[in-house]
Structure 1
Amino acid sequence: MISRIDLRGSAGDPRDALPRAEMDVADATERVRPIVDDVRHRGTEALIELTERFDGVRLTDVRVPKDAIESALVDLDPAVRAALEESIRRARKVHAAQRRTDHTTQVVPGGTVTEKWLPVERVGLYVPGGRAVYPSSVIMNVVPAQEAGVSSLAVTSPPQKDFGGLPHPTILAACALLDVDEVYAVGGAQAVAMFAHGTEDCRRADMVTGPGNIWVAAAKRLLKGVIGIDAEAGPTEIAILADHTADPDYVAADLVSQAEHDVVAASVLVTPDEALADKVTERLTERVAATRHSERVREALSGPQSGIVLVDDLDHGLAVVDAYAAEHLEIMTADAPALADRVRNAGAIFVGDHSPVSLGDYAAGSNHVLPTGGCACHTGGLSVQTFLRGVHVVHYDRDALADVAHHVITLAEAEDLPAHGEAVAARMDHGPGRD
């Protein structure tokens, strides 16, 4: 079912040998370009036609009525509501602590630089709606934006035939719990285009965030610069670094849980223990047969993006998982906290036997919108910082400027930009009280 890759004795860069989902965003970008251009030129009319074409739903209005959002909350299963409220409480507790404060540095007497943290004014938040329902992604997008102080939030999620062309009611209920009443029934590349260019119904946003399929990722790449983006999220992935102390049933359960997302989801075990690999393979056979979405899971686990990677020892394994830079990395080893502290590349790290990725998906308080496809080596997950901009405020008086003027003029001349120096010299020649 799941392939094996033997890296024992290999000292080279493991990145080319590791399993990885195939995702040609460049090709998809050209395919979504006509969609983006159509939304740009025809607005809501284009959205309605594209929604009928891709989702099989004919809408009269892309914005979800406020009463539908309120009704979804009224009709929500009380147990689901309680779980969502607890998820919100924990996420808000973690993200509230991320808010940065302004700081002023006195560089010289009379000369200061203040770094102000200003929230993005308007953000479009994308919530997927394909094989699964993701009210948790509403929380993971909305909470950090709210904690950052974003003043205008709009959520969009694909329309569902089974719910009269509205997004799934649990998604609408999550929006209601978070006091978000601007919601759109639009998915795919056209949703990103709606936020980037604006329509008659939806004011353009400054940024779009949230996970999505390859078409959403392609639209983000195409429109980056027109609109800010968080990341080009690809197929979801888990890597588990485990040794002989790991419970093979826990490992198998976590590999299956990630494979449940999509047939292109990646599940990777890295271990120096071949006996553990054998036991995990046995448990996978049992768990895949028993799980509800067994066909989807089986296809994901047998795909080129999944595998068991054998390494020499845990140091070698650490180098391999750092090279892989997983969206989710679990550490199940004898001294998991110490090993986790040495990890440098991961979207989120889950330490020990009782910190599964599923916990982070819903109720750890951490954010589950994370970098994929190896991007964790340079990009972090969604956080309050995603929605903040650091702005430097420079305030020098005349004496402070005079003290450094000769250096500024020298550097301006060195760069052959004499007018830069002249702008400083003019203030020295024509200060207060001079003509």
Structure 2
Amino acid sequence: MRAVDLIHKKRDGGELSAAELNFLIQGYSKDEVPDYQMSAFAMAVFFRGMTAAETAALTLAIAESGDQVDLTPIAGIKVDKHSTGGVGDKTTLILAALAASAGVPVAKMSGRGLGHTGGTIDKLESIPGFRTELAREAFINQVNTIGLSVIGQSGDLAPADKKLYGLRDVTATVESIPLIASSVMSKKIAAGADAIVLDVKAGSGAFMKTVEDAEALASAMVEIGTQVGRVTSAVISDMDQPLGYAIGNALEVMEAIETLKGKGPHDLTELCLTLGAHMIVLGGKAADIAEAKQILKQKLENGEALAKFAELISAQGGNPAVLEQTELLPQAALTVEVTAEEGGYVGSIQAEQLGLAAMLLGAGRATKEAQIDYAVGLVLRKKVGDAVAAGESLATLHVSSNNATVQEVAERVRKAFGIVSSVPAPKPLLLSIVTAGGIQRV
């Protein structure tokens, strides 16, 4: 078998077998297939696409390039959740506790933030003392004991994906649905979950800018899960504006705590209840989504979800007192108000620009090596549809010092708000549900 023959076959629209795709991925992982040949393969896939069987085989080959996490020692159906990324997306903090409080074991490996999207591990590490690295045995024992654990991803999990993504990034082949889908699902499969719930974002603050593209990606990922024996469903949600109000690590932890107390923003609460409902249906703890939502609402109201989050914090070395004393979380040196120059209504918010603003303040990383400031970020004072008067605050920046960069960021934030003269038509948060049975528009 030769790489050049497989590239030729795909270039001409042929279908590669599982053995052929495994040869390419394993060869690339071992530096036996050079970058220039894998670049040619990625470009061939970009233009020719892949069948569902090919995409599933590619995903398995990538998953098998490194460690395979065995979660069979954990009792019950293990359900994982993955978001394609967004601004202000702190759902994992809430969902892990919510699902575990309903009896679904959550053994989750999450990542750090890069660019304008935040990372769950960075948020958790803003809690004083919280450890995101656990030995495999301790990880499994904790899930069996309290029902959940959230740790950082192993460096050996799907290493071929990391290598291939770096190549795609510099060869203009990132925007390929089979390659995106296999990248996401390879890590989920390697992480050992029995079932997977996907939160696929669509809009200005998301990687997929249109609902149609998000549905195509979700369908590809659900199909992969189905083909490899993992029950998978996806929720398409809007990311034309940030989720909730807080953007920044400690700020998002505070908002997650309020949500677990039943006092969170409507959009964040609604999305968590929907994603959580899918998790506990797949986990066998509810017969349907309606029943599942009622169970989860009760867990928020009776305090069981918040108590489960406290257990997670304590088990991983953090200080659970932050749940009642949020001032124990990192605090910014000062705040700066970003005010509206004209009155009217908020017609749009460029979510990506707000994510970049938070990154420039130090809440995110421009490069993987960059250090972050857990305290900084911003809190929105207005969302789409809200009335605003000239001079009224649009957002509050939480900053380390009031310097020239902060003023530039403030201007970026101001420009991200589109002010219109009349109330804009409301746009739903939940756009569609994708399962093995097809796409259902909400």
Question: Which one has a bigger Cα radius of gyration?
Answer: 1
How high is the TM-score relative to the length of structure 1? 0.32
